[in-house]
Amino acid sequence: MTGGEIVVLLTRRNLLQACGVAGAAALLPVGGAVAAPDDWLGWLRAHPGDACVVLDDGRGGRVAHRAHERQPLAAVRHVVHLAAYRRSAVAAGERVCVGEWERYHLGLDGGAHQAALRALGLPSSNGVRADDPRRFVAVGDLVSVMVEHGDFAAGDWLRRRVGVAGPAFGDEVLRLVLGRPVGVERYVDDPRLRLEVLGRFPDVPRTDEGLRSWALGTWAGTAAEVGRACRGLDGAVVGVLPGVVAVGVGVRWEDGREGVAAVLARGVDEAWAGRARELAGLVRTALAEPAVLRGFHVGLS
């Protein structure tokens, strides 16, 4: 995160690979001081009041730390949308007009929408929206880029289609831009409001302090809720906002065993936010290897 940019979802298809991170980190005295943590387990151990953790490996191994405390979810909130989609009667093959999807695109998503367009093979010459808004994509493909790239617009379109409760992603972006609560559905339907938003974008607070304050006030939830929503995911979602890192993981093994995990962290500096994928790798490893799961248990007990 540089220049006050809001960085949102940082997932990729190889996110579930263990990132070479295993075992517990020890905080060792150095010259009478406590050494800085050098991996995510060490960070969590050093910041227990800023972390909420749930891990269930599906074979009786469980860890819960501040599981029911509410913290910012960043784009990990997409697992709620995904769960609602799975419960709905919406078919994966249903077609969505790109222009309808992009009505919800507000920017300030760290390039997530552009990544989604590239993933779906949709040219975007202006670097903002698709060149041809009349094209169609399948709902299943839209859901995939929502999860893998964290596109707020895809999440808000799906929210309306399947009836997800709670604030939209766009609601929070509009609050940042306008300084007052405005629903994204009003933005979609009101041309004058869209012009106001366009005019206000240059005035969006760009300081780290301002963005962190905004991020802490965005959509929130608990690790327990995220863990439940990850059942059946068989993948990972990572959300990053200024000062916030969140991870949701679901894993299904060939024997039918299913593991789920959620880690929500706040007070995260830029260097650790850049290592968010390592946290997803560590969590995935903990669901597969009991020794690593014990490391979480010991570190957070």
pLDDT value at residue 36: 66
Cβ contacts of residue 25 below 8 Å, gap of 6+? 37, 38, 39, 41, 42, 45, 299
In a domain, 169, yes or no: yes
| Domain identity same for 163 and 261 | no
Q: Which residues of the chain have pLDDT under 70?
A: 1-37, 206-207
**Pairwise CA distance, residues 61 & 35, whole Å:** 29
Contact 92, 139 (CB under 8 A): yes
Residue whose pair of structure tokens reads 């949308």 in the numeric block: 81
**Domain span at 174:** 88-215
| pLDDT value at residue 207 | 67
- Domain membership flag for residue 2: no
Same domain, 61 and 93: no
Same domain, 113 and 202: yes
Q: Is residue 4 part of a domain?
A: no
**In this predicted structure, what is the pLDDT of residue 116?**
94
Looking at the 3D structure of the chain, how many domains does it have? 2
CA distance linking residue 160 with residue 91, whole number of Å: 15
Predicted TM-score of the model (pTM): 0.77
Predicted pLDDT of residue 62? 96
Residues 118 and 49 in one domain: no
Confirm whether 5 is domain-assigned.
no
